[in-house]
Amino acid sequence: MDLNGKKILLGVTGGISAYKSVTLLRLLQKQGAEIRVVMTDASTEFVGPLTFASLTRFPVYTSKELAESSPFRHIDYPRWADLFLIVPCSANTLAKLVHGLADDPVSLCFMAATCPKWVAPAMNSAMYASVAVQNNLRMLKNFENVQVLEASAGFLACGEEGPGRLIEPEEILNRLLVFAENVNPVFKGKKVLISAGRTREAIDTVRYISNSSSGKTAVALASVFLESGFSVTVVKGQMEAEFPPGVQIVSVESALDMHSQIMALASDFDVIVHAAAVADFRPKMVSDKKIKGSSSLLQIELEPNPNILRETVKQKKNGQVIVGFALETDDFEANAIEKLEKSGADLLVLNTPVAKNSGFGFDQVSYALLFDAKRIPPLKMNSKKQLAKEVLDFIKQAWTSSDDFTELHNA
C-alpha cells in the first residue's frame, strides 16, 4: 500500500537539515501524497519558501501570512491534513510544542492539529543530550497522537560526530509506508501498555537479584503494535534490546517500582501486555552498605513481590484486553494452565526458553498461546516477531468476534 491521496502537512524549522525536507517532500509526492508546507522564520534562512511553493503548487504558510492574506491558515492547514510531519524539529520548536507556546506557524499548526503528528528532532549533539531537550522529548512522547522519530548518530554539519542527526528522509518514508500498510480501523486510536526487561531487587548497595531477560520479546511486541497503529507505552526494567522510535518509555528498577507505575497507568490503556521478567521475591532487608565476603553463613530472607498481572486483571475495565506471559522450564502445560486460571488473563503466552539457541537473548523462542485451559495448543518454535503478530491477531479477534477465538486457536 502507498500513500496515494494522503494529505500531509510538512512543518519545517530552523537548522541545516532543513534541506532534507525538500527530499522528503519529493519522496512523499512520488507515493501520491498531497503536500502543503508550513515554516518558521528561522527555516526560511536555510530553504526559501519559494522552493516549497513551486514543488507543492500551494502557498507556503509563513509568519508573513499572519498579518496578510490568510489569518486562519493555522486552522485551515491542520484541519486539511491527515498527518502533520515536523522535519526537522529544532530544540526551540521542541520546547514550544511541549509547553504550549504558539507564536509561529509551525507551533500554531501543532496546537490546532487533531491528526497524527510525527516529530523528527535534529540538532548538535551537546544540545540533543542536554537535560532540557531530553526532558522535552520525554514529555512530548507522552502526548496523545504524537510519534517522535528519534535522531540518529553520525557526522553533523558542525563537524562533530554523535547523536542529533536528522533521521534520513528515506527512513521516514519507510516508516510511513509501514504505518499506512498496517493501520487497521480496529486499532485506530488504541493504546497499549507493555512491561519489558528485568527487574532488580537490591541485596545491599552493590548487589541484587535479577535474571537474564534481554527484552527482545517486548521490543518485538512494541514494534508490531506501533506498526499497526497503536500508541505504545513501555514500562521497562534493565534490558539490552532497544525500542523503535515512537515508543514512549518509563524506566524502573525494582518489581515494586514496576508495580507502582503500571497500576497508575493501567486504566488509560486498551491493551496491557505483561512481557517483563519480574522478580517473584525481594530481600526482606536491604543492607545500606556492602556485605563483606567473610559473611560465610549469610542468609537472605525473601518476601513476595506483588503479582502485577493479577492486580491489573482485578481492575480491568470493559473492553480491555490483558495478556500475561508464563516462562516455564518444566511441566509446561500444567504450570501454564494454573497461571491462566489464577490470573484471569484474556491470553497467556507460554514460553519455554530451554531449546538450543532460543529464549533469553535470542530472536526465536518456543511458545504457545493459551486462552482456554481445556484446550492447550502444541508448542512451536518461531521468531519473537511472529509471536507478537499472533498476540495482535488475538486482540483483533477479541474486539471483532464473539466466537471465543476458535479460529485463532485452530490456526
Same domain, 166 and 276: no
What domain range is 199 assigned to?
186-410
Residue 209 is predicted with a pLDDT of: 87
CB 230 within 8 A of CB 224: no
- Mean pLDDT for all residues in the chain: 86
Residue 74 main-chain phi, psi, to 5 deg = -65, -15
Question: CATH no. for residue 177?
Answer: 3.40.50.1950
Say whether 158 is catalytic. yes
Most confident of 233-237, 291-295, 380-384: 233-237
- pTM of the predicted model, to two decimals? 0.60
Most confident of 2-6, 225-229, 235-239, 348-352: 235-239
Tell me: pLDDT of 393 over 50.
yes
Residue 404 is predicted with a pLDDT of: 45
Rounded (10°) angle between helices 105-112 and 73-80: 50
Per-residue pLDDT tens digits for 196-209: 999 999 998 888 88
Q: What is the mean pLDDT of residues 250-257?
A: 94
Tell me: pLDDT of 14 over 80.
yes
Judge whether 1 lies within some domain: no
Judge whether 252 lies within some domain: yes
Same domain, 344 and 218: yes
Residue 43 is predicted with a pLDDT of: 95
The tally of domains found in the chain comes to 2
CA pair distance 287, 203, nearest whole angstrom:
6
Tell me: pLDDT of 353 over 70.
no
Q: What angle do CA 84, 127, 115 make, to 5 degrees?
A: 10
Cis peptide before 78 (omega within 30 of 0): no
Per-residue pLDDT tens digits for 32-49: 999 999 999 999 999 999
Judge whether 122 lies within some domain: yes
Tell me: pLDDT of 5 over 90.
no
Which of 6-20, 32-46, 160-174, 381-395 has the lowest average pLDDT?
Answer: 160-174
End-of-domain residue from the set 182, 216, 231: 182
CB 323 within 8 A of CB 272: yes
Which of 13-17, 266-270, 291-295 has the lowest average pLDDT?
Answer: 291-295
Same domain, 208 and 313: yes
Same domain, 250 and 139: no
CB 146 within 8 A of CB 119: yes
Same domain, 241 and 306: yes
Tell me: pLDDT of 218 over 70.
yes
Tell me: pLDDT of 347 over 80.
yes
Same domain, 157 and 241: no
Judge whether 404 lies within some domain: yes
Judge whether 2 lies within some domain: no
Tell me: pLDDT of 379 over 70.
yes
Same domain, 155 and 77: yes
Judge whether 345 lies within some domain: yes
Same domain, 29 and 127: yes
C-alpha cell at 3: 500513500
- Listing DSSP states for 370-404 in one string gives ES-TT--PPPEEEEHHHHHHHHHHHHHHHHH--ST
- Catalytic-role residue among 89, 109, 115, 158: 158
CB 121 within 8 A of CB 134: no
Same domain, 266 and 159: no
C-alpha cell at 325: 506471559
Question: CATH no. for residue 402?
Answer: 3.40.50.10300
The partner residues of 153 in beta bridges, in order of sequence, read 163
pLDDT above 90: percentage of residues in the chain: 50
Judge whether 382 lies within some domain: yes
End-of-domain residue from the set 147, 182, 217: 182
Same domain, 370 and 225: yes
Residue 55 is predicted with a pLDDT of: 96
End-of-domain residue from the set 131, 150, 182: 182
Judge whether 29 lies within some domain: yes
Q: What is the mean pLDDT of residues 250-279?
A: 95
Residue 155 is predicted with a pLDDT of: 64
Same domain, 165 and 274: no
Indicate left, alpha or beta for 334 from its phi (over 0: left) and psi (-120 to 50: alpha): alpha
Same domain, 370 and 318: yes
Residue 408 is predicted with a pLDDT of: 42
